[in-house]
Structure 1
Amino acid sequence: MGKSYSTERGLVHAVVGVDLRVPAGQFVAIVGRSGSGKSSLMAMIGGLSRPTRGVVRVSGAEIWKMPDSRLAEFRSREMGFVFQFPSLLPTLRIIDNVALPALLNSRKEEAAAYEKAAELLTELELADYVDAYPHEISAGEQRRVAIARALINSPSLLIADEPTSDLDEQTEIEIIDRLYRLNRDRGVTLIMVTHNLALAQRADRILHIANGGLVA
């Protein structure tokens, strides 16, 4: 698959000829410097940015052939996202932030959504903060809330795009450990991009990306 952008300086090839297959339940780390194409690749896999060329299949479904409404539903059901910043809604309580994706999913009732949110927050050792607001908890705790939010619809694929880049070293280790345990305990497929090779060591497979392509 590939992704190109038109700019004032001409065509920019952000991702070039990437052929990536990830078996269900595997933890894959994609390592590369800033500007190497990591985030563009993840956006295509996650159904957020249409490839210029190539095919993306998730759980056997060719996602970019879906109508927008179906893709949005599929993405909500099958994928969870943990981005570089937690992006929690400041006016909502922690439990509301976690429950929100489930509330937007018409298949879940409000009571079931909040019950699942409470379970996830307990699992991530955040039960004492369900009624807190984002500004009342630490950066590491906010990242754990973001992980809970990503898991609320029980996705088969979890995409983590630089999930620890703004955290101190100890909190980085804690968050990667959390993601690793979720992969092992829940069997969720995990694709993580990072610039930190040391953090990537927990993965089953490490891939390197440079100039938009995977390199040996």
Structure 2
Amino acid sequence: MARDKAGMLSCRALRKTYQTSRGPVDAVRGINLDVSAGDYLALIGRSGSGKSTLMAMFGGLSHPSAGSLLVDGADIWSLGENAMARFRNKRIGYIFQFASLLPSLRAIDNVVLPALLGRYDATADSYKRAARLLTELGLGSHFDAYPSEMSAGEQRRTVIARALINDPVLLLADEPTSDLDVETESEIMALLRNINRERGTTLILVTHNLALASEAAHVVHIADGTIIP
């Protein structure tokens, strides 16, 4: 079901400065950006351009040095530590560059983990939802498989299911196909487009691949920590 088209993400003068032995380094330099609910936005730029740093701030993983950021109407960096963790767990899904699955857990356990940590549902209900997501993503026969028993594409599908377990309003995908072959990359991107289209989940994709970026509704170019007009 499509969500309301109100603003999903808005930042003003967003900045991230790292202090190093050689002095301050500005990774993100005063970015202004608005993303509507249900949008599909691609952030593109060369390695070191600041796009992943920007994404980490959007996802509540890296504190901005300056500026303002609203996610689904919430000033997330004004929240306390516990409130921030709850918001991030419930409202934001994050797909990292690498699979990042816990090797000692089965696929279904990896998927259900954010729901159990958040204690949003009874355990049985969370497992039912995890099973449904894995089935929808073509992994209905892999509930009991461990990461080492799955292909790269199957692992990435499991990561997507994990990111969706709490029905987030915002899905952040940071180079989600960079380590995959072309065929698997195409499959994963088709899944992400379908999630955006069918669920109405706002999708922000970081990529250096212009062909992948061209499939997004909007594309933002970043270089040297700023948006290129």
Instruction: Give the shorter-chain TM-score range.
Output: over 0.9
* Structure 1 residues not aligned, in runs of 5+: none
Other-structure match for 2:93? 80
Other-structure match for 2:148? 135
Asked if the contact 1:173/1:199 (under 8 Å) is kept, the reply is no
| Cα distance between partner residues in 1 of 2:90 and 2:23 | 37
Q: Which amino acid aligns with 2:211?
A: A
Deviation at 1:202, TM superposition (A): 1.3
Asked if the contact 1:101/1:149 (under 8 Å) is kept, the reply is yes
Q: Which amino acid aligns with 2:143?
A: V
Q: Which amino acid aligns with 1:54?
A: G
Q: What pairs up with 1:68-147 in 2 under 5 angstroms?
A: 68-147=81-160
Q: 1:25 aligns with which of 23, 38, 43?
A: 38
Q: Which amino acid aligns with 2:89?
A: S
Deviations 1:134-179 (A, max 9, x none): 1111001100100000000000000000101111111111111110
Moved over 2 A (4+): none
Q: How many residues align?
A: 216
- The DSSP-based 3-state class of the residue aligned with 2:144 is coil
Q: Which amino acid aligns with 2:151?
A: S
| Cα distance between partner residues in 2 of 1:106 and 1:115 | 14
- The DSSP-based 3-state class of the residue aligned with 1:56 is strand
Deviation at 1:185, TM superposition (A): 0.3
Deviation at 1:96, TM superposition (A): 0.3
Other-structure match for 1:63? 76
Other-structure match for 1:151? 164
| Cα distance between partner residues in 2 of 1:79 and 1:68 | 16
Larger % of strand: which?
2
TM-score by length of structure 1 reads: 0.99
- The DSSP-based 3-state class of the residue aligned with 2:67 is coil
CA RMSD after TM alignment = 0.6
Are 1:191 and 2:204 matched, yes or no? yes
Deviations 1:74-100 (A, max 9, x none): 011100000000111111000000000
TM-score by length of structure 2 reads: 0.93
Identity rate, percent: 58
Q: 1:6 aligns with which of 4, 11, 19?
A: 19
Q: Which amino acid aligns with 1:100?
A: L
Are 1:53 and 2:66 matched, yes or no? yes
| Cα distance between partner residues in 2 of 1:31 and 1:10 | 27
Other-structure match for 2:4? none
Deviation at 1:107, TM superposition (A): 2.1
